Structure 1
Amino acid sequence: MLNFFRQQSGSIKNDVLSGITVALALVPEAIAFAFVAGVSPLIGLYSAFFLGLITAVVGGRPGMISGATGAMAVVVVALVATHGVEYLFPTVILCGIFQIAIGMGRLGKLIRMVPHSVMLGFVNGLAIVIGLAQLGSFKTLSDDGNLVYLTGSRLGMMLGLVALTMAIIAWLPKLTRAVPPSLAAILTITLISIAINRGVEPGQPNALATVGDMLRTNTKAKAVADARADLAMLQGDAALEIDLSQGTDATLVSAQKPSLVDETNDVKAAANKVAAAIASTDDGGSGISGGLPRLFFLDYEMVPLNWTTLKIILPFAIVLCGVGLIESLMTLTLIDEITETRGKGNRECIGQGVANVTCGLFGGMGGCAMIGQSLINVNSGGRGRLSGVTASVCLLLFVLFLAPWIEQIPMAALVGVMFMVVIGTFEWASLKMFRRMPTSDMLVMVLVAGYTVFMHDLASAVILGVIVSALVFAWQHATHMGADVKMNEFGSKIYQLHGPLFFASVQSFKDMFDVANDPDDVVIDFYYTRVYDQSGLEAINGLAEKYQTAGKRLHLTHLSEECRGLLDNAGDLVEVNVSEDPQYHIASDRLA
C-alpha cells in the first residue's frame, strides 16, 4: 500500500530538506484554515509552529507533521463568531488537557478497533478531499468581489506549471536523490513564476497567482462577504433595493414599506461598506510577516474563569479533543503502514495535548496531525523527528524574516505537490478488490469515503465506519450460534454450544432448547463458546428459570475464567448449578 512514499530512507539530510519542503507547503494551508476559523492568518501560522514543533519532539510518531487543520477550524468557527476570539484560547487549552488525560489513561490503543475497510475508505476519501481542496487555488476575484474560476491564458499557464511540478516530482528521483523532488519542483516553478510575473504592471493581478495573492484574495473575499452579510441582515424582509453602481455612493431605489424609509440610512451605510470592500486595494496588511508569538492574555482580553465560561467552552473542547485525536491516530496508523514502523498512540495523544495547551497559551487556534503534509514529508524522505522540528522552525523564520520571498511562491507549485500526494494517497488497488472483498466490507469502504468527501468530516466518517462495521460483525456472528445435542450414559441431555453468546445471538440461543421435552438433567457445555455480555447472562438466567419451573436441573460446564468472572459479578442474577469441570492431565504428568 502507498509504495509511492517508500522511495527514500531516513537521514539527517533528508529530514532537513523534507522539513523545508513541508514548511513551504504549510504556509498556504495554515492561512486558509485561519480564514475558515475566522481568525487572523498569523494565528494559523503560529498554531502550525507550536503544534509541529512540540509533537515532533514529544509525540509518538516521528516523521508525522501537525499543524492547524480544517477539521479543527470547522469546529471553532461557530465559537469565534458567537463569543469572540477570546474564548478560543481557553477552549484549545481545555482540549489539550483532555487529550493529555486520554493519553495518560492509555486509551490511544482504541485506534486498533478501526477495521481495514474503514481505513481504506478513509484514505480514499481523504485523497479525494485533498484533490478537491486544490480547486480553490484556480479561483480569482471578479470585479464584483466574487470568487470565480480562472479562464484563458491564466488558466492555461496555471495548468501547465501544475503539470510541470508533477512531472518533476515523478521523474527527478530517477535521476538523483540528492534533493527531495517536491522541494526541487517548488524552487523551479517559483523561478519560472517570478520571471512571468515580472512583466505585470503594478496594481494588476499577477499572471500566476502566488501565496501573497492567495492571502490578499482571501482577505478581500472575506471582507466583501462580511459586508454583504451585514447588508442582508439590515435589509431583512423590507425588500430595500440598493444601487451599487455608483461606487461608494449607494442610493436607495425603492422600499416596499414606506414606514421603513427612516431606516434606510443604515442600509445605505451597509451598502456603501459593500461597495468599499469591492473597490478596496488593501493588500491584506503585513501578509504573513509578524513578530514572535506572545501569551494570549497580553494581546486579548481575558475571559472570566467561571462556570458560565466553562459551559460555553466545554462542548467545543470535547469535540476538538475527539476530532483531533481521531485524525491524529488515523494519520499515525497510515504513516506506520507507509514506513513499516510502529508509532506510539498513547504518547501521540499526550504530545497532541501538550502542543494544544501550549498553542492555546500563545494565542493559537489548535490543531492536530496534518495528513497531506505528513505524506509530503514521508515522500521527501523525512522519517525522523528532525523533519518536524525543521519544518516548524522554518515556518517561524518565514514569519519573522522571509515573508516577502515566501509570498512569491506560486500556488501552481503547491497545487502540483498536493496532486502528487493525492495520487500517492489513493489506494488504487482497492478498485480491483471490489469483486474479492466481502460485500459488507466494500459497502463500509464506500460509505466512509463518501461521507468524508461530501461531509468533509474525517472524524465522523471514521466513527460511522467503525459503528457500521461493528453492527455487521454482530449480525454475522449472531447466526454462528449452534449446538451439538447428545445423550450421555446417565440419561442427561448435553447441549455443546458453538459460537459467541452475546446480545445479537441471544434469540438463537433460546431457540435451541426444548424445556418441555428435555429430561430432568440438562448440561450446557461451553467448551467451544464464550459469554460476552449482560444479554448473554440474562439469557442463561431466563433459561435456568424455565428449567427450574419445569422441575429440572441445569448444569453449566467448561466455562472459561472470563465467563466465571461474569457469573460471579452478576451475583444473584444467575442462579445456576455450575458444575465443577474435571481436571484433565497430559501424559507427562502421569509419567512423572
Structure 2
Amino acid sequence: MFKFPKFSGTTVRTDLLSGITVALALVPEAVAFAFVAHVGPLVGLYAAAIIGFFTAIFGGRPGMISGATGSVAVVIAALVATHGEQYLFAVIVCMGVIQILAGVLRLGKFIRMVPLPVMHGFVNGLAIVIFLAQLGNFKVKDAAGVSHWMHGSQLWTMLGLVALTMAIVHFLPKLTKAIPASLAAIVIVTLLCYGLDLHTRTVVDFLRQMTANPDATIAGGWPTFHIPQVPLNWETVKIVLPYAFITAGVGLIESLLTLTVIDEMTQTRGRSNRECMGQGLGNIVTGFFGGMGGCAMIGQSMINIRSGGRGRLSGLTAAIGLLCFILFASSLIEMIPIAALVGVMFMVVIATFEWSSIRLYNKIPKSDFLVIVLVSVVTIFTDLATAVFIGVIISALVFAWKHAKQISVETQMEGQNKIYNLRGPIFFSSTHNFLELFDVHQDPQDVIIDFANARVSDHSAIEAIDTLADRYLKANKQLHLRHLSSDCRKLLKKAGNLVEVNVIEDPHYHVADDALA
C-alpha cells in the first residue's frame, strides 16, 4: 500500500519553494498550539516536523500539510494539566494505533457521508477560527503581564506591514509565478523591517511572550527516542484510552475533511484510508520522539496549494525545512516579523472562506443554509468534531423528514377488489404516514397492496406492514401483499402468509435489518 513518492522534474522547483514557505508559517502555529496544550515549544515543533514528514510520504493526499493542530491541542490540554507530558506521549502513540486500525478497516470512506452544507460550514468556521487566532498577534503584554491591544505607532506599523504582505501575495502572481508569493512576501517584509529599522514584533518576541521566558528560542537538537514513562496498569489504560479515541477521531475528521477540500480545489482525488494510516504512523512516531501529536492543517495546506505545491515533495520540504530551522537556522527564523506571517494567514482566510455560500441564501433549501451557518458557529465556539457531528445529524434528520413526506398511494378497483399502488420509501420516519394511507373499515372485503414502486428500507417498515396486516385480519378482511423482496418476506411475522410470491416480478434488494445478518 505504501510506495515512496516519485517526483517529476517539472514540479520539483515549485514544491521546494512552496514547502519552504509552509515551513516558515508552521513555526508560530506550532509554538502557539504547544502553548495551548501546556507543553514546551519544541514539543509542538517536533510534532509538526515528524507528522509532516511521515504523512507526506505515506499519506493519501499529496500536497496536504500535517502538523501540530489546535483541535488536538485543546483535547490534550486537560490531560497534560492533570497527568503530565508522559501521559500525553502515551495517548499520542495509542491515537496513532487507532488511526491505523481505522485505515485497515477502511473506515475513511465514511467521510463521503458528510453533506456539502457541512463541508461549507467546516471551511467557513475554520476560516473564521484562523482569522480570530491572528487577532491575538495585535495584543502585547505590559510589565505586569496583562495583555492589551496595540495602539499608536506600534499598531499602525503592524497594520501597514500586514497590508503590504497581503498586497504582495495578491499582486505578485499577476507579474510572475517564478517564486511563491507568500515566500516572497515574507522575505521582502523581513528585509524591509531590518533595512528601515522598524520596531515590530518578531517570531522570537512571540515565542518569549507565549512562554514568559525572556531567553526562549526555537533552537533545539535532534528529537530523541523515548518510551513514555507511564505505569503499565489498568488505571493508566482508563486514563489513556478515552483521550486516545477522542484525539484519533478529531484528527481523522479534520484530516479527511481537509483532504476533501483539497480534492475539490485541485480536481484530483486523495485516498482517505491511506491518509488514516499515514496520520496514524506519523502520530506513533511523534509519540515516541517527544511530539504532541496532530493532524492535517487546512491553513498551511491552503498556503501550499496556493503557492503551487501539489506533490509529496512540498510536504517533505516543509517538514525537513522546519527541522532544519530548529537545528541550524533558528536565529534567522526568529527575525521574521509576525506581521508578515499574519498577512499570509489573512490571505489564507480569504481563500478558505466559501464566499459562494453567502450568495446561496436564496438558491438552496433553507435547511441547507441553516446547516452551513450552524456548523460554522459551532466550529468557532466548540471544536471541529462536534460541529461536524451536529451538522451530519441535522442533515440526516432533515433528509429523513423530507423523504417521509414522499410516500403516496394510488387506488383503483379491480372488480370487487381494491388495489393500493404504493409509491415512495417506507422507513422509520415514514411509517406513520404509511399507516394513515389505508382506510381499513371502509375498504371492501378483499384488498391488494402493491409494493412494486415502493421500497421497504428498515425494520420499522417491516413492523408497520405487520401492523397493517393485523388491522385487516382483525376486521376479517382478506389482505394480499404483492411485489415484496425476499428479504421482506423473511422478516414479516404476522403478514408473512399474506404475500403473493412472483419470482419473476418481485424486486431484489436488501432491507437494512440485523435479523438478516
TM range (shorter): over 0.9
Distance 1:291 1:12, change over 3 A: same
1:283 corresponds to which of 196, 203, 214: 214
Give, as a single letter, the amino acid of the residue that structure 2 aligns with 1:565.
Answer: D
Per-residue CA distance 1:243-287 (angstroms, 9 max, x = gap): xxxxxxxxxxxxxxxxxxxxxxxxxxxxxxxxxxxxxxx4243x1
Matches within 5 A, 1:289-438: 289-297=219-227, 302-438=229-365
Check conservation: 1:60, 1:345, Cα contact below 8 A: yes
| Structure 1 counterpart of 2:465 | 540
Check conservation: 2:489, 2:496, Cα contact below 8 A: no
CA deviation after TM superposition for structure 1 residue 574, in Å:
5.5
Matches within 5 A, 1:195-234: 195-197=195-197, 207-220=199-212
> C-alpha distance in 1, partners of 2:10/2:468?
62
| Structure 1 counterpart of 2:402 | 476
> C-alpha distance in 2, partners of 1:80/1:160?
39
Distance 1:380 1:120, change over 3 A: same
| Structure 1 counterpart of 2:512 | none
- Confirm whether residue 565 of structure 1 aligns to residue 490 of structure 2: no
> C-alpha distance in 1, partners of 2:495/2:50?
56
1:439 corresponds to which of 338, 350, 366: 366
Matches within 5 A, 1:469-508: 469-489=395-415, 491-508=416-433
CA deviation after TM superposition for structure 1 residue 555, in Å:
2.7
| Structure 2 counterpart of 1:259 | none
| Structure 1 counterpart of 2:479 | 554
- Confirm whether residue 138 of structure 1 aligns to residue 138 of structure 2: yes
Check conservation: 1:48, 1:67, Cα contact below 8 A: yes
| Structure 2 counterpart of 1:22 | 22
CA deviation after TM superposition for structure 1 residue 413, in Å:
0.6
| Structure 1 counterpart of 2:501 | 580
CA deviation after TM superposition for structure 1 residue 78, in Å:
0.3
> C-alpha distance in 2, partners of 1:294/1:566?
61
Distance 1:214 1:358, change over 3 A: same
CA deviation after TM superposition for structure 1 residue 499, in Å:
1.4
Check conservation: 2:251, 2:294, Cα contact below 8 A: yes
> C-alpha distance in 1, partners of 2:107/2:481?
35
> C-alpha distance in 2, partners of 1:345/1:444?
24
Distance 1:574 1:580, change over 3 A: closer
> C-alpha distance in 1, partners of 2:480/2:206?
75
CA deviation after TM superposition for structure 1 residue 571, in Å:
6.6
Give, as a single letter, the amino acid of the residue that structure 2 aligns with 1:320.
Answer: T
- Confirm whether residue 519 of structure 1 aligns to residue 444 of structure 2: yes
Which range moved further: 514-523 or 288-297? Answer: 514-523
> C-alpha distance in 1, partners of 2:497/2:474?
13
Larger RCO (alpha carbons 8 Å, 6+ apart):
1
Give, as a single letter, the amino acid of the residue that structure 2 aligns with 1:497.
Answer: L
CA deviation after TM superposition for structure 1 residue 511, in Å:
0.6
CA deviation after TM superposition for structure 1 residue 197, in Å:
4.3
| Structure 2 counterpart of 1:5 | none
| Structure 2 counterpart of 1:110 | 110
Matches within 5 A, 1:23-172: 23-172=23-172
CA deviation after TM superposition for structure 1 residue 576, in Å:
4.4
Check conservation: 1:329, 1:345, Cα contact below 8 A: yes
SS at match of 2:438: coil
CA deviation after TM superposition for structure 1 residue 194, in Å:
2.2
Check conservation: 1:537, 1:567, Cα contact below 8 A: no
- Pick the structure with greater CA Rg: 1
Check conservation: 1:556, 1:576, Cα contact below 8 A: no
Distance 1:492 1:284, change over 3 A: farther
> C-alpha distance in 1, partners of 2:497/2:207?
73
SS at match of 2:429: helix
After TM superposition, the score normalised by the length of structure 1 is 0.82
> C-alpha distance in 2, partners of 1:197/1:531?
75
Check conservation: 2:412, 2:418, Cα contact below 8 A: yes
CA deviation after TM superposition for structure 1 residue 361, in Å:
1.4
Check conservation: 2:409, 2:423, Cα contact below 8 A: yes
Per-residue CA distance 1:148-189 (angstroms, 9 max, x = gap): 111111111111011010111111111111000000001111
Check conservation: 1:169, 1:185, Cα contact below 8 A: yes
Distance 1:10 1:323, change over 3 A: farther
> C-alpha distance in 1, partners of 2:488/2:250?
34
Per-residue CA distance 1:117-151 (angstroms, 9 max, x = gap): 11111111211111111011111111211121111
> C-alpha distance in 2, partners of 1:539/1:97?
44
| Structure 1 counterpart of 2:194 | 194
Check conservation: 2:466, 2:492, Cα contact below 8 A: no
Distance 1:392 1:497, change over 3 A: same
Q: CA RMSD in A?
A: 1.7
> C-alpha distance in 2, partners of 1:46/1:346?
25
Q: Which runs of 5+ in 2 are unaligned?
A: 1-8, 506-517
Check conservation: 1:16, 1:386, Cα contact below 8 A: yes
Distance 1:574 1:390, change over 3 A: farther
CA deviation after TM superposition for structure 1 residue 82, in Å:
0.6
Check conservation: 1:134, 1:415, Cα contact below 8 A: yes
Per-residue CA distance 1:382-403 (angstroms, 9 max, x = gap): 0011100110000110111111
| Structure 2 counterpart of 1:464 | 390
Per-residue CA distance 1:35-84 (angstroms, 9 max, x = gap): 00001110101101111111111111110000000000000000000111
Give, as a single letter, the amino acid of the residue that structure 2 aligns with 1:296.
Answer: H
